[in-house]
Amino acid sequence: MTHGARETHHRALVQAKFDAWRAGEGSPFDLLTDDASWTIVGLSDVSGTYPTRQAFLTKVIGPFNARMREGLRPRIRSLHADGDTVVIFFDAAGVAKDGMPYANTYAWFFELRDGQVVRASAFFDSLAFNELWRRVQP
């Protein structure tokens, strides 16, 4: 596969998973290999590196989703690919279990291999995240 074809393929894979997520029919986390590492950059309550897909889902995504009445729906601002790296800049909003809205802006950096994410880094507004994480119990 040529460099340009690989980038087009990676963009399409990620776009499809985000479209499914927005429709409530899937998740971008489906792209993660079992041993994919996920790093949350910054000073949020969950910042750090999770060495496997399951560790990340168990310690971050599961407890986050348990705090939500209406799950996040993403809106991509931009999606870029360079070789095996895909960058997704997006907004996402939902409603917490206490009825309060939650909104955040994210930048995710995916490193893909054979159509799956092997490494991810995430940036987001840790103040907004921490406020939800501390206010609403799972």
Q: Give the number of domains in the chain.
A: 1
Residue 1's pLDDT is what? 78
* pLDDT score of 42 more than 90: yes
CATH of the domain at 92: 3.10.450.50
Q: Long-range contact list for 31-35, CB < 8 A, 24+ apart?
A: 31/110, 31/112, 31/115, 31/116, 31/117, 32/56, 32/116, 32/117, 32/120, 33/113, 33/116, 33/117, 33/118, 35/118
Q: Which domain holds residue 63?
A: 3-135
Q: In what order do the strands lie in the sheet with 101-113?
A: 48-50, 32-40, 116-124, 101-113, 85-96, 68-82
* pLDDT score of 117 more than 90: yes
Interval 46-71 mean pLDDT: 99
**What mean pLDDT value characterizes the chain?**
98
